[in-house]
Amino acid sequence: LDPEAIAGDSRAVLDFLADYYRDVDKYPVQPSDLKPGRLRDLIPSAAPEWGEPMEEVLDDVRQDILPGLTHWQSPRFFAYFPANASAAGLAGEMLSSGLNVVPFAWAASPAATELEGVVVDCMGALLGLPPRFLFSGGGGGVLHGSTCEAVVCTLVAARDRALSVLGHAAITRLVVYASDQTHATFQKGARIVGIPPPNFRVLPTSAASGYGLPAAAVRAAADRDAARGMVPLYLCATVGTTGLGAVDPVRELAGVARRHGMWLHVDAAYAGSAAICPEFRCHLDGAELADSVSMNPHKWLLTNMDCCCLWVASPSSLTDALSTDPEYLKNVAGAAANKTSAAAIDYKDWQLPLSRRFRAIKLWVVLRRYGAAGLRAHIRRHVTSAEWFEKAVAADERFEVVVQRKFSLVCFRLRPRFQGDGAVDENNRKILEAVNTSGRAFLTHFVVDGRFIIRLAIGGAKTELCHVRDVWELLQQKAADVLQQ
Ligand code: PLP
């Protein structure tokens, strides 16, 4: 950690990144040469015996690595959901990894722990969450790396709460509920905590419910399970599903969860960011009745990977399940701290690993550099572009919008017209492939009710309306080519 080396290497990297972001729009969004193993052929397979200058390392990044990347920060990246980066997020990330403290316990880094408490309260308030999720109101929050980790932690909390009453043997009777639109991470989480597929109910959604999870279906399934001696444990509601951007009726689901004493989690990984704008808060209606809520500022809130906020109404249910207290972590400062105080948290007891990153400083820098107004403008800019695109699709008789857009994700496809559905699926696949191999944009697909659809997820920090207009023009050209064949 020689100060001169830090300054020199960081300056070289920052210059490299400044050039990269100046030119990122010029790179093919996906690499044109997608041959697996390409990089192995280019770079030495053994570590060098002696250290090399940073300039040489960066030359290799430029020559060998950049051409093989999918450019997630390209303004023409519309795939999956965005993974936002910003100068503020990068600065925050530099502070986080530059200071490199490990705030697993209050005593291990008091100010880092306290900043995390302040930042999660701040974020919760920005989203309009009620005080019961904030430290100031008796709840609290933590920064994880991903929704997957957040969901596993809440599943463990719910499981152990139930088993402490029912006894460990009851684990085979625990049942969790989700919809066929819920992210696969939830199923993985349930498997990890010992609730495998036979006890994982995937309830169907349909166009009639806007692909939201009908509360009546959950109620019927949970009633049936309870009558058979099973234990309805946990219900995952999603606000902004990955495939279609659908919203589950959280308030109604909360009623069902309460009826069966289930833990209700609200996964707002992508769309939670929109709730900083009052006009989108309606989609979180009922979240105030949940046990936990999570969202990823690393998706759509200008915070570089990784950062997932998890709020719980009852921190003790998390810490009862996840606390450890080994001798080697004890020290005088820790013992002296008032553990019931929101300021003196041991965040190791809110997550899976012991070690953790100083994510709070990154999110804090983003909040300070943009302010709430700047972040709202970022969200609204993308929603406005999505509105434009949705209208353009609706106005072209060859295409149809498949589900009503709620945020910045537009799901659409070529209409069936005179072809069978099989042919139209094939044509949509061809259009998507032609757009992606052109290198001029990158979109991904979804399948709903057996139909292949194209997703345009708008949200890149550099994406403007002009890029959305361009991709629409490109889609139209490729559609004309495919239809002509
Ligand atoms: N939930 C939803 C609704 C998502 O869209 C995603 C990812 O796109 C996830 C969960 C998974 O998030 P993570 O990668 O943070 O685990």
The rounded Å distance from CA 42 to ligand 1 centre is 33
Token code pair at residue 164: 């402490």
Span of 71-80, 205-214, 226-235, 410-419 with lowest mean pLDDT: 410-419
Pocket flag, ligand 1, residue 96 (CB < 6 Å): no
Nearest ligand 1 atom to alpha carbon 306: 15
Q: What is the pLDDT of residue 10?
A: 94
Does ligand 1 come within 6 angstroms of the Cβ of 147? yes
Is residue 28 helix, strand or coil? coil
Phi and psi, residue 238, nearest 5°? -120, 135
For the chain, the average pLDDT equals: 95
Distance between Cα 454 and ligand 1 center (Å) = 19
CA–CA separation, 464 and 460 (whole Å): 8
Q: According to the model, what pLDDT value does residue 341 have?
A: 60
CA of 179 to the centre of ligand 1 (A): 15
Q: Is 70 exceeded by the pLDDT of residue 371?
A: yes
Ligand 1 atom, smallest distance to 150 CA? 16
Rounded to the nearest angstrom, the distance between the alpha carbon of 419 and the centre of ligand 1 is 35
The minimum-distance atom of ligand 1 relative to the CA of 240 is: 3
User: Is the shortest distance between the CB of 358 and ligand 1 below 6 Å?
Assistant: no
pLDDT of residue 423: 86
Give the pLDDT mean for 319-330. 91
Is the pLDDT at 38 greater than 60, yes or no?
A: yes
> What pLDDT digit, counting tens, does each position of 130-153 carry?
999 999 999 999 999 999 999 999
How do residues 180-229 score in pLDDT, each as one tens digit? Answer: 999 999 999 999 999 999 999 999 999 999 999 999 999 999 999 999 99
Q: How far apart are CA 72 and CA 67, in angstroms?
A: 13
CA 49 – CA 418 distance, rounded (Å) = 66
Q: Mind listing the pLDDT tens digit for each residue in 102-127?
A: 999 999 999 999 999 999 999 999 99
3-state secondary structure of 452: strand
pLDDT greater than 80 at residue 336: no
The string of DSSP codes covering 110-167 is HHHHHHHHHHHHHHHHHTT--GGGSGGGT-EEEEES-HHHHHHHHHHHHHHHHHHHH-
Q: Please tell me the pTM assigned to this model.
A: 0.96
CA-wise closest residue to 110 among 422, 344, 372: 344
Closest ligand 1 atom, residue 271 Cα:
3
Percent of the residues in the chain that have a pLDDT greater than 90, as a whole number: 91
Q: Is 420 helix (H, G, I), strand (E, B) or coil?
A: coil
ipTM over the 0.95 cut-off: yes
- Residue 328 is classified by DSSP as G
Question: Which two three-digit tokens encode residue 226?
Answer: 């309870």
Rounded to an integer, what is the distance from CA 92 to the centroid of its chain?
A: 19
pLDDT band at 417 (very low <50, low <70, confident <90, very high): confident
Report d(CA 370, CA 358) in Å as an integer. 20
Q: Judging by DSSP bridges, how do beta strands 451-457 and 409-414 pair with one another?
A: antiparallel
Ligand 1 pocket member 438 (CB < 6 A): no
Residues 156, 321 contacting (CB under 8 angstroms): yes
Atom of ligand 1 nearest to the CA of 146: 15
- Confirm if 294 and 239 have CB atoms less than 8 A apart: no
| pLDDT score recorded for residue 418 | 55
Mutation choice for ligand 1 from 80, 147, 409, CB with most ligand atoms inside 8 A: 147
The response to whether residue 407 sits with its C-beta less than 6 Å from ligand 1 reads: no
User: What residues contact 17, with CB distance under 8 A and at least 6 apart?
Assistant: 90
**pLDDT given for residue 156 in this prediction:** 98
Across 460-484, b (16+ Cβ under 10 Å) vs e yields bbebeeebbeebbebbbebbeebee
Residue 270 has pLDDT above 70, yes or no: yes
* Residue whose C-alpha is closest to residue 200's, from 229, 225, 227, 176: 176
List all residues 6 or more positions away from 224 whose beta carbon is below 8 Å from its beta carbon: none
Amino acid at 24: V
Spacing, Cα 90 to ligand 1 middle (Å): 21
End-to-end CA separation in angstroms for the chain = 61
Tell me the average pLDDT across 301-320: 97
pLDDT at 316 over 60: yes
User: What is the arithmetic mean of pLDDT over 222-237?
Assistant: 98
Residue-wise pLDDT for 373-404, tens only, equals 999 999 999 999 999 999 999 999 999 999 99
Q: Which atom of ligand 1 is nearest to the CA of 241?
A: 3
Please state, in angstroms and rounded to a whole number, the distance separating the CA atoms of residues 180 and 178. 7
- Return the bridge partners of 202, or none: 178
In contact, 120 and 144? CB cutoff 8 Å? no
In which band, very low, low, confident or very high, does the pLDDT at 82 lie, cut at 50, 70 and 90? very high
pLDDT mean over 407-411 = 98
Contact 114, 384 (CB under 8 A): no
Find the helix or strand (DSSP H, E) in which 479 lies: helix 465-484
Among 183, 186, 283, 359, which residue has the most ligand 1 atoms within 8 Å of its CB, making it the best to mutate? 183
Q: How confident is the model at residue 254 (pLDDT cuts 50, 70, 90)?
A: very high
Q: How sure is the predictor about 420, in pLDDT bands with cuts at 50, 70 and 90?
A: low
- Secondary structure string (H, E, C) spanning 272-297: HHHHHCHHHHHHHCCHHHCCEEEECH
Ligand 1 proximity of 209 Cβ (cutoff 6 Å): no
